[in-house]
Structure 1
């Protein structure tokens, strides 16, 4: 049985993933608080910037969480300010770990969300947690550095690192490719501009992702690094075809050279066997099901 009195603190609680994470935890009886950089009126919301070490310490000292799920990050790879990746993803995470260490008790589990982007341009095959790290952009380097910094706290804090592959769902920003494609189909646009159509990605449904995170913090596998992924890849061409089939709408795809990234990771496919070893049977819905949910959402 879960101790439903457990208090969970989510960083990035106002973000896409944070919203689903909070719902998942509340649905399973947890007391949920959240840290966000913007003001908020949801119960248990604390406004604090990851750059503000003292604000983080004050928040952690007050909440005294049993579990911390760290989702706050600059995550859009095409983000214009490269330094922001390091300020938030590396220095901000270090500030958080310091605040957790200073709060006066040892939590049950600290989940740090990294990224499968740390694997970089894998030539072929399925990527496991022992695959070599070869980050190909500043976002990925910042996440790899975050993981390295977290290891320095491994003796003091029960840290677990997740490496989610691409995931999506209703409410994700149109900056990301699948929501961009879905939004074009929802408004029945005549054409869409994309970059490389032959980029293959492993997509998870955000609802399955937050279920995996909840079950991981319940198992408390301290010191583990865990891929969260479907083990199936789809190209952007596949995504377009699926959307056309669901909606009955045909769209002209125009390749815009400005959208073709020099350091594009050509194929990312994950191995979720560590996740299943730790939490048992787990599946993400097929991509068609996730895209239908997104296309038909109110």
Structure 2
């Protein structure tokens, strides 16, 4: 029989790509999510009793926890903690209460926990310095997870920014690509003087797949490409890809307080754990997204 994977957030952007990668690897995928999809059940993360029953029915060999409030500018701070922190505690309780013994529990945290780190590229031993509720909630989630290391074989992933076709437009990269694809003449952005380590979602899910079946536990590992791209570089690449220009308007309402200016990490530990993962450069990522949105070919 094929191994079973239980994924929270299975119907989300990352969950859909991860499901495809795991199924292609011969794994049977189940999970919970807010949307529709094969193997997706609806369950509030904080409903521990219902979650326990679902996990007991699935009896997973692996668990991947993706479900979270992931948009940094989400307008309800309390939701970050209810979902990202208490929801994670509820999941871990449900796994134990269901009496399953997964080979690995992979939990998605965030590189946002590092804040404005002075050391670049950021390695896993850089002290966290979160600057917003999202990052604070993810760091609190990590602290809770460490309390469970003795009970469950767990691994904490800290993904840096990643993107791909189907990501919500309130995230920077798909917003920019969709504006160019739609033919509008202007785009409103927040702080354009920032740069981020941006990977392809396919790179991310391949890292998750390898970490899931690998031997590492009780570890924290960055998921990143090791290079920062500025907003200006993204815009220039899209001008080249689309063959057209767009006027950028800086909207003060979109400028975040305590903005992290430059964020990129070291993938050295990831490579030690899972080997080298081929990664497209930013222009290739943007071109594929643009082609999907427009139906164009290059």
Tell me the TM-score range normalised by the shorter chain. over 0.9
Equivalent in the alignment of 1:91: 86
Tell me the residue number matched to 2:28: 31
The runs of at least 4 aligned residues of structure 1 exceeding 3 Å deviation read none
CA displacement at 1:34 relative to structure 2: 1.6
SS in 1 for 2:248: strand
**1:43, distance to aligned residue in structure 2 (A):** 3.4
When normalised by structure 1's length, the TM-score is 0.96
TM-score of the superposed pair, with normalisation by structure 2? 0.96
Taking only aligned residues, the RMSD between alpha carbons, in angstroms, comes to 1.0
Distance 1:254 1:278 in 2: 43
Displacement after TM superposition at 1:176 (Å): 0.3
Give the aligned partner of residue 289 of structure 1: 284
1:52 paired with 2:47, answer yes
Counterpart of 2:5 in structure 1 is 8
Candidates 178, 196, 203, aligned match of 1:201: 196
Q: 2:161 aligns with which of 163, 166, 185?
A: 166
Alignment match, 1:135: 130
User: Please, which of 148, 151, 154 is the counterpart of residue 149 of structure 2?
Assistant: 154
Structure 2's unaligned 5+ residue stretches are none
In structure 2, how many angstroms separate the alpha carbons of the residues matched to 1:140 and 1:43? 31
* Cα distance in 1 for residues equivalent to 2:245 and 2:161: 25
Q: Does 1:175 align with 2:145?
A: no
* Contact 1:216–1:278, Cα closer than 8 Å, also in 2: yes
Q: What are structure 1's unaligned runs of at least 5 residues?
A: none
2:213 corresponds to 1:218: yes
Cα distance in structure 1, aligned partners of 2:34 and 2:215: 27
User: By how many angstroms is 1:124 displaced?
Assistant: 4.7
- In 2, Cα distance between equivalents of 1:177 and 1:264: 14
Give, in angstroms, the shift of residue 44 of structure 1.
Answer: 2.3
3-state secondary structure, aligned to 1:9: strand
The reply to whether residue 107 of structure 1 matches residue 102 of structure 2 is yes
